[in-house]
Amino acid sequence: MPIADSDGTSIYYERHGSGPAILFVHGSGGHHAAWWQQVAALREEFTVVTVDLRGFGKSDSSMPEFDGQDFPGDIVAVLDQEHLTDVMLVGQSIGSVAALRAGLLRPERVGSVVLGHSLGGISHPELKELAAADRAEAVKLPVIDRLLTKQFQRERAGLTFLFQQMGTFNVAKMADLRNLDTGGPTLEDIRDAGVTVAFLAGEKDAVLSVRTVTRAHELLPGSHLEIVTGAPHSMYWEVPDRYNAAVAHLRRTLTAPKEAA
């Protein structure tokens, strides 16, 4: 069982396939197994790494409380143990905040960071205001309606139930990740690190609007933007084919310039 040591904390991860590396970072209701539809689809072309942040899945959950500021180090521990380079980190929702910080901590290992349904905790007044307005609308909905479309819930009741059950394996909860937003990186920090950032947005995301994500893309020179049509906040689960295609496209696109150099 692969375990990385993150400053004394045991972090569980898995590595599948071969080729250019993609490391997925789950959100507040996920863990390594949430990426089952991505691993199966992408491992033939890419090295696919999944990880459990502390308090999630099979990672150490024995600590009395969790500090979101520790989560980037959990990702870094896996990157270092596996000696990965030119990795594309793909975050889901608030997991994107940990992914971006990990990328800035290890730019020599991370070539790009994909912020899925998230602004990555970027510290910028306009973006914080836009994201807060989106959240104010999102909290009016039941949690499941923020994450999956009503049509999917009706037509795929079994997968909807499994989606909800995923979070029951975790000790850490959403509140434990919120501290990640404290002291987030500025646009200048990202530019200076030399890590390429891509924003991955769902057209039907009820948590973070396409308008807000598009504005973040406009404010961050050199960033990329992928909008997946008809996709909700948890598109990796509801529309995996479209999500996987977008991730694969970004991995090929963001790798290509370095290979051609």
Half-sphere exposure of 254 (CA within 13 A, CB side): 30
Residues 202, 231 contacting (CB under 8 angstroms)? yes
List helix spans (H) across the chain: 36-42, 71-81, 95-105, 125-138, 143-147, 150-155, 157-166, 174-177, 187-193, 210-219, 235-238, 240-260
pLDDT at 164 over 50: yes
Average of pLDDT values for 239-257? 89
Least confident interval from 27-36, 139-148, 154-163, 176-185:
176-185
pLDDT score, position 15: 98
Q: How far apart are CA 188 and CA 123, in angstroms?
A: 10
Residue 153 pLDDT > 90: yes
* Complete domains list, the chain, with CATH: 3-260 (3.40.50.1820)
User: Residue 101 has what pLDDT?
Assistant: 96
Q: What is the pLDDT at residue 160?
A: 98
pTM for the model: 0.94
Q: Which two tokens stand for residue 8?
A: 């004394």
Using H for helix, E for strand and C for coil, what is the string for 26-78?
A: CCCCCCHHHHHHHHHHHCCCCEEEEECCCCCCCCCCCCCCCCHHHHHHHHHHH
Residue pLDDT, tens place only, 177-230:
666 667 789 999 999 999 999 999 999 999 999 999 999 999 999 999 999 999
pLDDT in tens, 65-86: 888 889 999 999 999 999 999 9
Question: Which residues, including other chains, have CB under 8 Å from residue 216's CB and lie 6 or more apart?
Answer: 119, 122, 124, 127, 199, 223
**Half-sphere exposure in the Cβ direction for 25 (13 Å, CA):** 34
Give the pLDDT band (50/70/90) at residue 17. very high
Q: What is residue 259's predicted lDDT score, i.e. its pLDDT?
A: 39
